Amino acid sequence: MTSNPLQNPLLFIDLNNFAAYPTLAVGYLIRSLRLANHSVELLSPLALGVPAFARDHEENWKDQLLRRLYFSSHPVLNKFHDSLRNVHSKWLSRPHPLMIKEVHQAIAKRPAAILISAYLSQYEMCVEIGKAAKAAGIPVLLGGPFFNLAKVTDEWLNIDGINAIVGGEVDFTLPDIVDTLQEGGDLSRHKGVFLAGGKAGDMIPPLKELDQLPTPDFTDFPWDKYPHPIIPTMTGRGCSWGACTFCGDVVSANGRTFRSRGVKSVLKELAEQSKTHKSKDFIFLDIKLNSDLAVWNGLIDHFQEVVPGGRWIGTVHVNHKGDNGLSAARLKDAKKAGLTRISFGLESASQTLLDEMKKGTTIEDCSEFLFAAHEAGISVRTSMMQGFPGETVDDLRQTNAFLRKHFDALDRVRLSLFKPLPNTPFDRLYQRQPEKYTSLKQFKWDYRLARGLYRYHPNRAKDYRKEKRELLKLVYAINRKPLTDDAQQFNGMM
């Protein structure tokens, strides 16, 4: 089926305001719709002057003060943590006045239908869109990365004015779903579509034909508003490791099972997008860019052939089971190929905790990788987790010693508290042995936000709190460091 060319355009509302580059998933879907002759107009927050959420900047004393408050386990401050986090969360997720105004103006133009791409923090904005669309009699389809989780979707199906929610990879099937939406047909006949009252299509399986994907269409995004024109891409979906107990990425719509594109397909897209958008800078959004070593090595060997003088960044997994493509020699080759910045999940420098997390890495491997990447001239960013269940003062001491040892090799550390996510291995472990997790008091799931809520009761012993303060100081000292000019172009993008 194809659209009626005389109809008004579809209104695609992309609520993503967490990145300073186009939304990859939206680019794929817009291209799919246009190939099926649908007319599409994009509404993007940044284009309206809504500032993008900034992260991983060069920190100052205010950042450290907020971090100290957020991570504090002092008995007095602990009483206020939940209320402070709730206030902060509501502030971050509040609908922006400019976005509300533009949505109402766009709906007044009578689009044929409205498609919303949303993260779970944007519930209130979706309520606002649903209300306005219902008043105008315009059908609405909502989608996002975690709507393949039934309990999450159930919480969102109660939004008035939302006709259905898409929970899966619909890169090839969205045009047909939109046709049915506009015709008022039975949407439950489409896989991956959920409706209120429990009516739904079959669960859509992970997409396998990644090489058949068209080149994403980013032409509608506000390129003039981005600090630097950086093009997003992805060589594969899912993660070839996929075992970390805390990871929610591998249970999201795109993250289920690992599938890879071929090197030729990726290189062709890089050349085409570079020419279209007049940029040579790319961010690879793979959960683990070195999942498929043939593709990883192909990028290193051929990137400069298709994008001469180009630069790129990505996230890798420092696994210890055989070749991971991250040897000192290969990292030097990657630097020559344009790899400017690299991110990896350290999480902790305690081998005991890493094994409990099922990280599949060793501290020795992480150390070797860090020194090798730094020696190659690649800027390194890492993510870390504090408060993982069972964390001890000795675990913190080991982590602090590791950060001191690798201080010069690390450019940025993104430290977060442990955040339980539904459908992850942790979820199953907690269901079997809740008594094992003594630091998680009054635990319950908030499926609207797809996260676990609990009273934060970590180890309050003085030596533990002392080591935690030292950890916060080290993170702050690392994050205060200025970046090289090349790395600065990509700051805050991973």
pLDDT tens, 172-209? 999 999 999 999 999 999 999 999 877 888 889 999 98
Beta strand spans in 181-333 (E): 193-194, 230-233, 236-237, 259-260, 281-284, 311-316
β-partners of residue 341 are 313, 379
Q: What region does 423 belong to: left with phi over 0, alpha with psi -120 to 50, or beta? A: left
Give the model's pLDDT for residue 54.
Answer: 61
Domain boundaries, the chain: 10-50+96-198, 61-89+227-488
* Mean pLDDT value of segment 374-384: 97
pLDDT tens for each residue of 397-439: 999 999 999 999 999 999 998 999 999 999 999 999 888 888 7
- Look up residue 258 and give its two tokens: 């690992």
Topology of the domain comprising 61-89+227-488: pyruvate-formate lyase- activating enzyme (3.80.30)
pTM given for the model: 0.93
Give the model's pLDDT for residue 181.
Answer: 95
* Alpha-carbon separation of residue 446 from 48, 114, 420, 449 (angstroms): 31, 27, 10, 6
Give the model's pLDDT for residue 333.
Answer: 98
Give the model's pLDDT for residue 90.
Answer: 67
pLDDT over 70 for what percent of the chain? 93
Q: Does domain 10-50+96-198 have CATH number 3.40.50.2300?
A: yes
pLDDT tens for each residue of 245-293: 999 999 998 899 999 999 999 999 999 999 999 999 999 999 999 999 9
Residue where the block lists tokens 């506000």: 222
b/e map 375-413, b = 16+ CB within 10 Å: ebebbbbbbbbbbbbebbbebbbbbbebbeebeebbbbb
Chain CA centroid to CA 447, Å = 18
User: Is residue 216 predicted with pLDDT exceeding 70?
Assistant: yes
pLDDT grade for 68, boundaries at 50, 70 and 90: confident
CA angle 184, 146, 125 (to 5 degrees): 65
Helix, strand, coil shares of the chain, percent, nearest 5, are 45, 15, 40
Contacts of 145 (CB under 8 A, 6+ apart): 25, 119, 252, 253, 254, 255
pLDDT grade for 109, boundaries at 50, 70 and 90: very high
The sign of the CA dihedral 408, 412, 416, 422 is: negative
List phi, psi (to 5°) of 312.
Answer: -155, 160
Give the model's pLDDT for residue 79.
Answer: 60
Nearest to 315, CA basis, from 339, 294, 284, 293: 284
User: Is residue 3 predicted with pLDDT exceeding 60?
Assistant: no
Nearest to 383, CA basis, from 240, 249, 214, 226: 249
